[in-house]
């Protein structure tokens, strides 16, 4: 993993309540607000990975609305302590909706809090990468 980028998916969960953000417990972005997401498993289709990550990190069953973007990120600190030089990821971001509008959020250990926001101004401590994703996606328009 020191020489190969990691393939990841990110999900922008949008409902009538707003856009879901989570407070990260882990690097990259530890202590900042972000959107759910993570690594794609071998032999896993990208949309299936988006559904899995949403379910694992938030407890939400989701439907994919559309792919928003493909982006690469390079973080100085990654989730792997024994790898020097940070982490390089290739991220596919999806706009998704909860299948059940009022489903309860159940966070896993990767985050400690969640909230629904209706604008980026509602939370100044959103990590730079998800902030850019949300700005560019137009989800608040």
Helices (H), the chain: 46-58, 128-137
d(CA 93, CA 69) in angstroms, rounded, equals 5
Parallel, antiparallel or unpaired: strands 6-15 and 37-39:
antiparallel
pLDDT single digits (tens) 42-100: 999 999 999 999 999 999 999 999 999 999 988 775 554 555 567 789 999 999 999 99
If you ran DSSP here, which 8-state letter would residue 14 be given? Answer: E
Residue 113 banded pLDDT, cuts 50, 70, 90: very high
Q: What is the pTM of this model?
A: 0.90
24 Cα distance to chain centroid: 10
Residue 29 banded pLDDT, cuts 50, 70, 90: confident
CATH 3.30.530.20 for the 6-108 domain, yes or no: no
What pLDDT is stored for residue 74 in this prediction?
Answer: 83
């Amino acid at each position: 993993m020191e020489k190969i980028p990691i393939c990841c998916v990110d999900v922008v969960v949008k409902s009538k309540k707003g856009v879901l953000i989570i407070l990260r417990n882990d690097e990259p972005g530890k202590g900042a607000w972000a959107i759910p997401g993570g690594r794609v498993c071998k032999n896993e289709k990208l949309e299936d990975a988006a559904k899995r990550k949403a379910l694992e990190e938030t407890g939400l069953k989701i439907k994919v609305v559309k792919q928003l973007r493909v982006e690469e990120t390079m973080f100085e600190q990654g989730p792997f302590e024994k790898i020097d030089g940070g982490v390089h990821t290739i991220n596919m971001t999806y706009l998704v909706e909860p299948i059940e509008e009022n489903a309860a959020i159940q966070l896993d250990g990767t985050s400690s809090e969640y909230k629904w926001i209706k604008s980026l101004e509602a939370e100044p401590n959103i990590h730079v990468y998800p902030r850019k994703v949300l700005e560019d996606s137009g989800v608040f328009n």
